[in-house]
Amino acid sequence: MEITFEHVTHSYDVNSPTANLGLDDVTLKIKNGLFTAIIGQTGSGKSTLVRHINALLKPTSGTITIGDRVITSDTNNKNLKPLRKQIGMVFQFPESQLFEETVEKDIMFGPMNFGATETEAREAARTVIKLVGLDESYLTQSPFDLSGGQMRRVAIAGVLASDPETIILDEPTAGLDPVGRKEIMSLFKDLQVKGKTIILITHNMDDVANYADAMAVIHRGKLIAQGFPKEVFNNQELLKNDLITLPKSAEFAKGLMQQGFHFDKLPITIDELGTEIKHQLNGD
Amino acid sequence: MEKIISIANLNYTYPDAKQAAINDLSLDIYKNEWISIVGKNGSGKSTLTKLIDGLIEADSGTISVAGQIINEDNIWEARKKIGIIFQNPDHQFVGATVEDDVAFGLENQGMPREQMVKEIDRALELVKMSDFKKRDPQSLSGGQKQRVAIAGVLATKPQIIIMDESTSMLDPDGRKTVLNLVQQLRKEQDLTIISITHDIEETELSQRIVVLNTGKIVKDGKPVEIYDLGTDLRKYGLEEPFSSKLMSTLRDTVKLPEGYLSEEELEQQLWKLHSNM
Ligand SMILES: Nc1ncnc2c1ncn2[C@@H]1O[C@H](COP(=O)(O)OP(=O)(O)OP(=O)(O)O)[C@@H](O)[C@H]1O
Ligand SMILES: Nc1ncnc2c1ncn2[C@@H]1O[C@H](COP(=O)(O)OP(=O)(O)OP(=O)(O)O)[C@@H](O)[C@H]1O
Ligand SMILES: [Mg+2]
Ligand SMILES: [Mg+2]
């Protein structure tokens, strides 16, 4: 499903003295089947943006189109279930998503809510718990008796269990140990390769460089750039104004440029950087 | 060096849990040290902080804070010295507005109203959240919540600050700013910093890294000693630093020294090779 934002503005409590625009006239297309990363500073509007996709928030003005579904300021809350079945969302704070007595019930909730039988939902729970790097023994535990990273994994499992077409991830790897982070990012990439649309909010530029096909940059509620990661991270205008941070490889390449190395474009992954360095040192 | 926290043979198992969360753990932390605690999800890091702050009681073993073994009678004294920034800031908010929230810790210290207002402003200024004073903390963005949680702890001027992944939702620049701020306060005010993190770059700021695994300390050393473990780090859920990963991709055709190099050192090596061409 293609997702488009047309002139979307979202204003949180219009009357407050700090009347803050969560989103300010955003027009954006999120392509079907791609892995799209959304980045931007703390408070820039990323979570606000994605909450419009499954209609948790309604725009103050503008329209959002998800497949054949149109959401505007007067969309009511009825009949949102089909939309929410297609669009799974892992929230920024996973605890806010967990509520059942056991991990198993928690994971089963989604599929059953969308019409799966109990047997199917139980089966789904057993499959997804392993996908997120936990063994089946966790199924009988209370989700509140878990460590921060374990809760995060259960929240992710809960969303995967419903098998949504589009998966929105709001900083899904915050709190995961580095090995777990890599495994889970690869899992999302795999799902995308198999046909899902992935939308990832992250502060980790290396994850953007390593996994995303497209990226969008939000600044004070406005969309200020979008494109291929390689292009966006080489956007001089953004760099000059400190509007983006570089992946580690690009940062390191910048240092090397001062030592006589030359890069037409800053490499953004370790593989790209390694290949370039070898090329320049060995001349092959 | 003066010990500020001394932990001896500590054990803790959660009610009904099959495995111990903390397993015969001993650790000395020195005054003015910045120590990083790292390890897999579920290795016991947050449990250890809860034990240090007396939020849960050990099954056996002792914890001393500033020379005093903590017990039910003196835990309140010890707690005044310790500020914890919890993993999930939502658990920390008690006030209806950001300023009330920061005030809470100060009221507990019995600070006069006038001074309190100044301290709140100062703390919010430090984390660049002054404009949000009147907002409900629950309505803030993820990173803004973390900043307020940090302000709440800084305002109380503790001697020991425990940060439990407290910058995980900040943008890269914001994270750097906050960590530099904490570093500066540590130096100026002789603070001790215990930082729980999954961010290998953040550990570079520390003097010592302790690796936890299934409730036990499996490594304890200077950052370079820990980074030198290379791919062995993965056993503990960790990853090699960026420079080591880059070196592994280069080694097949580029001649590099063995062992860990910092990014600066690697840059120098590559520069030398480049100028010798
Ligand atoms: N319920 C709300 N009421 C009022 N203002 C809000 C509310 N939710 C968010 N905001 C404000 O809107 C702005 C955008 O918030 P949002 O949560 O979208 O940011 P974000 O880009 O996700 O940031 P972070 O990276 O810190 O999570 C922020 O300034 C935030 O304080
Ligand atoms: N309230 C609780 N009741 C029962 N078991 C718990 C509880 N909290 C944590 N545990 C378990 O204790 C172990 C240690 O958890 P802890 O929260 O200390 O891990 P951690 O190192 O902080 O992990 P993370 O990096 O994921 O935050 C884990 O196996 C966890 O499942
Ligand atoms: Mg957010
Ligand atoms: Mg923890």
The rounded distance, in Å, linking the Cα atoms of A9 and A2 is: 20
The rounded distance, in Å, linking the Cα atoms of A172 and A160 is: 13
Per-residue tokens: B66: 């500033």
In a domain, A22, yes or no: no
Q: Where are the beta strands (DSSP E) in A57-171?
A: 61-66, 69-71, 87-90, 166-170
The pLDDT of residue B8 is above 60: yes
Chain B, window 91-130: residues with a beta carbon less than 8 angstroms from a chain A beta carbon: none
The pLDDT of residue A17 is above 60: no
Q: Which residue has the tokens 């889970």?
A: A184
Q: Is the dihedral of CA A209, A210, A213, A217 positive or negative?
A: negative
Q: Is B265 annotated in the active site?
A: no
Residue A192 in contact with residue A162, Cβ under 8 Å?
no
In a domain, A253, yes or no: yes
Given CATH 3.40.50.300, say whether it is the number of domain B3-240: yes
The rounded distance, in Å, linking the Cα atoms of A100 and A136 is: 17
Is A179–B40 a contact, with Cβ atoms under 8 angstroms apart? yes
Q: How many CB atoms lie within 10 A of CB B105?
A: 25
Predicted local distance difference test score (pLDDT) of residue B276: 81
Q: How many CB atoms lie within 10 A of CB A130?
A: 13
Per-residue tokens: A61: 């003005």
Exactly one of B33, B165, B202, B240 is catalytic; which is it? B165
Q: How many CB atoms lie within 10 A of CB A165?
A: 15
> B200-255, pLDDT tens digit by residue?
989 999 999 999 999 999 999 999 999 999 989 999 999 999 999 999 999 999 99
Predicted local distance difference test score (pLDDT) of residue A14: 65
Instruction: Name which of A174, A180, A278 is nearest B168 (Cβ-Cβ).
Output: A174
The rounded distance, in Å, linking the Cα atoms of B4 and B1 is: 9
Tell me if A46 CB under 6 Å of ligand 1: yes
The rounded distance, in Å, linking the Cα atoms of A199 and A191 is: 12
Running DSSP on this structure, what letter comes out for residue B33? -
What are the catalytic residues of A? 171
Q: What residues pack around ion ligand 4 (CB closer than 5 A)?
A: A 147-148; B 45-46, 87
Residue A116 in contact with residue A124, Cβ under 8 Å?
yes
For B164, how many CA atoms within 13 A lie in the half-sphere containing its CB? 24
Per-residue confidence band for B107, with pLDDT thresholds at 50, 70 and 90: confident
Q: Which residues of A31-61 are buried (b: 16+ CB within 10 A; e: fewer)?
A: eebebbbbbbbbbbbbbbbbbbbbbebbbee
In a domain, A206, yes or no: no
pLDDT cut 90: percent of chain B above it: 86
In a domain, A259, yes or no: yes
Centre of ligand 2 to C-alpha B176, Å, is 27
> A186-219, pLDDT tens digit by residue?
999 999 999 999 999 999 999 999 999 999 999 9
Predicted local distance difference test score (pLDDT) of residue A15: 64
In a domain, A175, yes or no: no
Per-residue tokens: A56: 């948790």
In a domain, A57, yes or no: no
Q: Is B135 helix (H, G, I), strand (E, B) or coil?
A: coil
Q: Is A11 helix (H, G, I), strand (E, B) or coil?
A: strand
Per-residue tokens: B121: 């402003």
Instruction: Name which of B39, B172, B274 is nearest A260 (Cβ-Cβ).
Output: B274
The pLDDT of residue B66 is above 70: yes
Across the strands, what pairs with B29?
A: B5
Domain range spanning residue A264?
246-284
Length of chain B, please?
A: 277
Per-residue tokens: A271: 């593989």
The pLDDT of residue B158 is above 80: yes
Largest CA distance in chain A: 64
Of the candidates A32, A131, A7, A125, the one whose C-alpha atom is nearest the C-alpha of residue A86 is: A32
Per-residue confidence band for A97, with pLDDT thresholds at 50, 70 and 90: confident
Is A256–B88 a contact, with Cβ atoms under 8 angstroms apart? no
In a domain, A273, yes or no: yes
Mean per-residue pLDDT of chain A: 94
Tell me if A18 CB under 6 Å of ligand 1: no
CB proximity list for A262: less than 8 A, separation 6 or greater: A280
Predicted local distance difference test score (pLDDT) of residue A29: 97
Across the strands, what pairs with A4?
A: A29, A65
Q: Where are the beta strands (DSSP E) in chain A?
A: 3-11, 21-30, 35-39, 61-66, 69-71, 87-90, 166-170, 197-201, 214-219, 222-227
In a domain, A143, yes or no: no
Predicted local distance difference test score (pLDDT) of residue B244: 96
Q: Does A43 touch chain B (CB under 8 A)?
A: yes
Predicted local distance difference test score (pLDDT) of residue A146: 95
Mean per-residue pLDDT of chain B: 94
Chain A residue whose CA is closest to B196: A175
Length of chain A, please?
A: 284
Of the candidates B244, B267, B245, the one whose C-alpha atom is nearest the C-alpha of residue A258 is: B267
Per-residue tokens: B151: 């302000």
Chain A, window 145-184: residues with a beta carbon less than 8 angstroms from a chain B beta carbon: 145-150, 152-153, 170-171, 174-182
The pLDDT of residue B117 is above 90: yes
The pLDDT of residue B88 is above 90: no
Ligand 2 nearest atom to the CA of residue A149, by list position = 26
What is the dihedral angle through the alpha carbons of B198, B201, B205, B210, rounded to the nearest 10 degrees?
40
A152 chain-B contacts, CB cut-off 8 A: 41
Chain B, window 135-154: residues with a beta carbon less than 8 angstroms from a chain A beta carbon: 135, 139-144, 147
Q: Where are the beta strands (DSSP E) in A57-164?
A: 61-66, 69-71, 87-90
**How many separate domains does chain A show?**
1
Q: Which residue has the tokens 């090397």?
A: A256
Is A175–B168 a contact, with Cβ atoms under 8 angstroms apart? yes
Outline where chain B has alpha helix (H).
45-52, 75-81, 98-108, 113-126, 142-155, 172-189, 200-203, 223-227, 242-250, 263-275
Q: How far is A2 from chain B (nearest CA, A)?
A: 27
B23 φ/ψ angles, rounded to the nearest 5 degrees:
-125, 100
Give the residue range(s) of CATH 3.40.50.300 domains in chain B.
Answer: 3-240
Q: How far is B180 from chain A (nearest CA, A)?
A: 17
